[in-house]
C-alpha cells in the first residue's frame, strides 16, 4: 500500500498509509483534511517590499555573497561576466539569468516572496534547476538596492544538493487556526532562505526536487558529455609511489612496502586497494591485523620523516571487547612500526583521539583501546568529541548567526565560545600540533585512531602532515593531501556531508571542521601557504554542491566500482587548477632547503598555546557579512579584472597581485 506524499513540518516525508478505499488519493487522511483546510484559509498578502536598503548592518539571518560568489562566479560559464553589482540594472538582469552550466535544466518555477526581514519580502519567482535554487525578483524590484542575501539568491543561487532540510514553522499568531505562512530552506553552509507563498506547493516541489535517492542523481552525473581527459586526471591527482618518493622513501628497498592484499576490497571495504605497511609484514599478517581492527581498518602508513625516519600511521580501534582480547599479530605490527624508526625504534605513541571514558565504554560494543601491557606502546587520549557533539555545536553557531539581538552582538565573543565550536577546533588543532611535534622534534613514530578511523583520525593525520611537509601547503599538494587522507582512505562523504540527502544523525561537519583548522593556521601563518582562504571556501562549498564527483560516495570502492566517478563526473581539482590564479596566495614564500642539517620545512608552532589562543570564528564560512573591500581598484589594475573584495584579506591579496603585476612590467 502506498505511503503519503506529503511532507511534515520538520521536512521529513510522512510515512502514514494512503486510504485503501480511495485509489486516486496520494495523501493520508490527516494531510487530506489539512489540505482542505488550507484551501479554505484566506491567503495572506505578501508584505510590501522595501524600496530602500534596511538600516544598520545586514541581518545575520541571511548568507553573505562572499562564499558563493567565489566558486560559482569563477566557473567557465561565468568568467566572462562582471561581478554582480549592488544595483542590478533592469536592462542587464536577463543576462545574469541566462547563465547556466552544461547539463543544467530547469525543473520548476514557483511564485513566492523572498523574506529579507521579519516585515519585508521581495516578490518574485523561485527557479529550481537540476543543480541549484535561484530567485528572480519581479520586474519592479530589479533595479532596487538589494541586500546581499538576495543578491546571491539571484545569481548564482545555491545548489539544491546543499539543502539540508525544509521546514515550515507555524505563524507566531496565537490563533488556533493559524496556518504555515513560510518555508525555511536550510543549507549545509549555514545559509538560510525564508520563502513566503503557497506553503504546500513549495514544500512538495522542493522536497521532490532537492533530495535525491542515489548519488547518481546528483548534478555531477548530468555533465557526462563535458567530462574531459583533464577531469579524469584530476580524479587521479594522488599517486602513492610519487608521494612516498617525495618523502625520500623507496617502497621497494626500505623498511616499508606496498601491499595489494586489499586489491578486491576484501580485507577492508573502505580502504584503497594498495597501501603502505612495514616491509617485514606478510600479507597473511596484514589480513590477521585487519580482522582485529574495527571495520578492518588496520594501521597504514601516511607519512615518513625524511630526516629522522619517524612515521605517521592511522587505523581504527582494536576489537578488544569486554574480555579485553589481544591479538599477537596486531601487537607485532605495532612493534614493527616502532622498528621502522632508525632513531627511536623501541616505542610507538598511540594517539587515541577520543575522550578516555568514551574509548573505555566502547569495550561494551566490541571496541576499546590498546592494552596498557604493550611495552612498546604508549596511549594518550585527546578528548575530541564525537560527530553528534560537532553537529550540535555548529548548529549553535547557525542559531547564533540568526539571532537579531543587540545583546548578542555586544557579547559576541562570549556567545561564540558558548557554542563550543571554537573549543572543538582547538582540541583538533592541539592533537595535530602535538602529533607533528612528536614526529619532528622527538623522532617518535605515531599511530592515530578514533573509533572507526574515518573522522577524527582523518582530521589529525591530515593536519599533522600539513604542518610537517611544505609540499602539502602548496595548492596542488593540498589537493593531494585531501585525496590521500580523506577521499582514498574512506571518510564517509556520502553520509557525513550528505549532498542531496535530508538531514540525519549520520551527518556531521567533520570535513568543514578540518578546513576550519587549516584556515586558522593559514590566518596565523599566511606566508607558509600557496593557497588562499578563498580556496578553502571553494572546497568547502563544493563538498556539498554536488557539481563535482570529487566528494561523491563513502569510500574508494564506492567511487571506483559502484559509481565509476572518474569517467562520468568532473573533478573539482581540475577546475581549481584551471583557475589557479584565483586561489594562489601572493604572499606565499616557497620553501627552499638551504642546508642538510635536518631542515625539512616543517611548520610546528610550539608551545601549542601560541596557536590555540588566536583561534577565532571563520566569519566568511559561517556568517552573513557585507563586503568590506575597498571600492576603488588598486593602482595599475585593469578595470575589467577588478571587483569589490568581500573580505579585508581578499582586498590585500588583490592589491598585492596588482603590485606584482606592476613590478613585472619593469622587468
| Residues labelled as active-site residues | 450
Distance CA 226, CA 653 (A): 32
- Measured over the CA atoms of residue 24, residue 27, residue 33 and residue 36, the dihedral's sign is negative
Give the Cβ contact number of residue 216 at 10 Å: 14
| Omega before 630 within 30 of 0, i.e. cis | no
Kindly state the helix (H) or strand (E) to which residue 184 belongs, with its residue range: strand 182-187
455 annotated binding-site participant: yes
Tell me if 329 is assigned to a ligand binding site.
no
461 is in an annotated binding site: no
Structural contact between residues 202 and 183, judged by C-beta atoms closer than 8 angstroms: yes
Q: Is 456 annotated as a binding residue?
A: yes
Picking from 286, 293, 302, the residue whose alpha carbon sits closest to that of residue 325 is 293
For the record, the C-alpha cell of 622 comes out as 559561517
CA 586 to centroid of chain Cα atoms:
25
Residues 6+ apart with CB under 8 A from 298: 267, 268, 286, 289, 290, 292, 315, 316, 330, 333
Check: CB of residue 216 under 8 Å from CB of residue 80.
no
DSSP, collapsed to helix, strand or coil, labels residue 590 as coil
Max CA pair span of the chain: 85
516 is in an annotated binding site: no
Dig out the grid coordinates for 286 from the structure.
Answer: 596484514
450 is in an annotated binding site: yes
User: What's 293's DSSP letter?
Assistant: B
Please give the sequence-ordered ranges of beta strands (E in DSSP) within 520-659, or none if there are none. none
> Which grid cell sits at 538?
571553494
Cα–Cα distances (Å) from 420 to 409, 611, 620, 652, in that order, read 17, 17, 19, 31
Residue 421 is placed in which grid cell? 565550536
Is the separation of the CB atoms in 69 and 626 below 8 Å?
A: no
Cα 297 from Cα 275, distance rounded (Å): 11
* Residue where the block lists cell 624508526: 341
335: left (phi over 0), alpha (psi -120 to 50) or beta: alpha
Tell whether the torsion through CA atoms of 150, 156, 159 and 160 is positive or negative: positive
Residue 330 labelled as part of a binding site: no
624 within 8 A of 58, measured Cβ to Cβ = yes
Known binding residues for substrate are 386-387, 450-456
Binding residues are 386-387, 450-456
Amino acid at each position: 500500500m502506498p505511503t503519503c506524499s506529503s511532507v511534515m513540518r520538520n521536512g521529513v516525508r510522512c510515512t502514514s498509509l494512503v486510504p485503501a478505499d480511495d485509489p486516486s488519493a496520494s495523501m493520508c487522511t490527516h494531510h487530506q483534511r489539512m489540505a482542505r483546510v488550507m484551501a479554505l484559509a484566506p491567503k495572506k498578502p505578501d508584505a510590501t517590499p522595501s524600496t530602500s536598503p534596511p538600516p544598520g548592518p545586514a541581518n545575520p539571518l541571511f548568507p553573505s555573497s562572499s562564499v558563493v560568489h567565489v566558486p560559482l562566479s569563477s566557473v567557465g560559464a561565468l568568467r566572462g561576466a562582471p561581478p554582480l553589482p549592488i544595483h542590478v540594472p533592469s536592462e542587464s538582469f536577463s543576462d545574469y539569468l541566462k547563465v547556466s552550466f552544461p547539463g543544467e535544466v530547469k525543473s520548476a518555477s514557483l511564485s513566492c516572496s523572498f523574506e529579507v526581514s521579519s516585515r519585508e519580502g521581495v516578490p518574485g519567482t523561485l527557479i529550481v534547476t537540476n543543480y541549484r535554487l535561484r530567485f528572480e525578483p519581479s520586474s519592479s524590484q530589479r533595479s532596487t538596492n538589494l541586500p546581499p542575501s538576495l543578491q546571491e539568491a539571484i545569481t548564482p543561487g545555491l545548489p539544491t544538493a546543499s539543502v539540508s532540510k525544509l521546514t515550515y514553522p507555524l505563524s507566531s499568531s496565537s490563533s488556533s487556526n493559524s496556518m504555515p505562512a513560510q518555508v525555511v530552506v536550510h543549507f549545509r553552509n549555514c545559509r538560510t532562505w525564508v520563502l513566503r507563498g503557497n506553503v504546500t506547493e513549495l514544500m512538495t516541489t522542493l522536497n521532490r526536487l532537492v533530495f535525491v535517492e542515489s548519488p547518481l542523481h546528483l548534478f555531477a552525473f548530468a555533465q557526462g558529455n563535458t567530462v574531459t581527459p583533464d577531469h579524469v586526471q584530476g580524479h587521479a591527482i594522488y599517486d602513492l609511489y610519487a608521494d612516498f618518493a617525495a618523502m625520500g622513501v623507496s617502497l621497494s628497498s626500505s623498511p616499508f612496502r606496498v601491499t595489494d592484499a586489499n586489491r578486491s576490497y576484501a580485507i577492508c571495504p573502505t580502504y584503497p586497494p594498495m597501501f603502505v605497511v612495514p616491509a617485514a609484514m606478510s600479507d597473511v599478517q596484514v589480513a590477521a591485523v585487519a580482522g582485529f581492527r574495527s571495520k578492518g581498518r588496520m594501521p597504514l602508513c601516511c607519512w615518513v620523516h625524511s630526516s629522522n625516519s619517524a612515521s605517521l600511521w592511522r587505523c581504527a580501534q582494536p576489537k578488544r571487547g569486554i574480555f579485553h582480547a589481544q591479538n599477537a599479530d596486531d601487537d607485532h605490527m605495532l612493534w614493527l612500526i616502532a622498528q621502522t624508526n632508525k632513531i627511536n625504534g623501541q616505542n610507538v605513541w598511540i594517539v587515541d583521539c577520543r575522550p578516555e571514558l568514551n574509548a573505555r565504554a566502547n569495550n561494551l560494543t566490541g571496541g576499546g583501546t590498546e592494552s596498557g601491557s604493550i611495552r612498546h606502546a604508549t596511549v594518550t587520549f585527546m578528548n575530541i568529541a564525537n560527530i553528534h557533539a560537532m553537529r550540535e555545536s555548529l548548529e549553535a553557531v547557525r542559531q547564533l548567526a540568526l539571532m537579531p539581538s543587540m545583546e548578542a552582538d555586544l557579547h559576541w565573543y562570549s556567545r561564540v565560545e558558548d557554542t563550543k565550536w571554537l573549543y572543538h577546533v582547538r582540541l583538533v588543532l592541539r592533537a595535530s600540533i602535538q602529533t607533528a611535534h612528536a614526529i619532528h622534534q622527538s623522532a617518535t613514530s605515531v599511530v592515530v585512531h578514533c573509533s572507526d578511523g574515518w573522522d577524527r583520525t582523518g582530521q589529525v593525520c591530515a593536519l599533522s602532515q600539513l604542518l610537517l611537509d611544505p609540499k602539502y601547503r602548496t595548492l596542488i599538494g593540498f589537493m593531494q593531501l585531501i585525496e590521500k587522507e580523506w577521499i582514498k582512505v574512506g571518510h564517509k562523504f556520502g553520509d557525513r556531508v550528505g549532498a542531496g540527502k535530508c538531514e540525519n544523525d549520520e551527518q556531521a561537519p567533520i570535513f568543514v571542521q578540518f578546513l576550519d583548522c587549516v584556515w586558522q593556521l593559514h590566518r596565523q601563518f599566511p606566508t607558509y601557504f600557496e593557497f588562499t582562504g578563498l580556496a578553502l571556501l571553494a572546497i568547502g562549498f563544493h563538498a556539498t554542491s554536488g557539481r563535482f564527483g570529487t566528494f561523491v560516495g563513502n569510500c574508494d570502492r564506492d567511487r571506483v566500482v559502484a559509481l565509476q566517478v572518474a569517467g562520468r563526473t568532473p573533478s573539482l581539482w581540475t577546475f581549481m587548477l584551471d583557475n589557479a590564479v584565483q586561489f594562489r596566495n601572493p604572499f606565499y614564500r616557497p620553501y627552499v632547503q638551504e642546508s642538510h642539517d635536518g631542515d625539512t620545512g616543517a611548520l610546528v608552532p610550539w608551545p601549542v598555546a601560541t596557536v590555540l589562543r588566536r583561534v577565532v570564528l571563520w566569519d566568511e564560512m559561517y556568517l552573513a557579512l557585507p563586503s568590506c573591500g575597498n571600492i576603488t581598484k588598486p593602482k595599475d589594475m585593469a578595470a575589467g579584472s577588478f571587483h569589490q573584495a568581500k573580505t579585508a584579506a581578499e582586498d590585500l591579496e588583490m592589491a598585492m597581485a596588482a603590485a606584482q603585476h606592476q613590478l613585472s612590467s619593469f622587468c
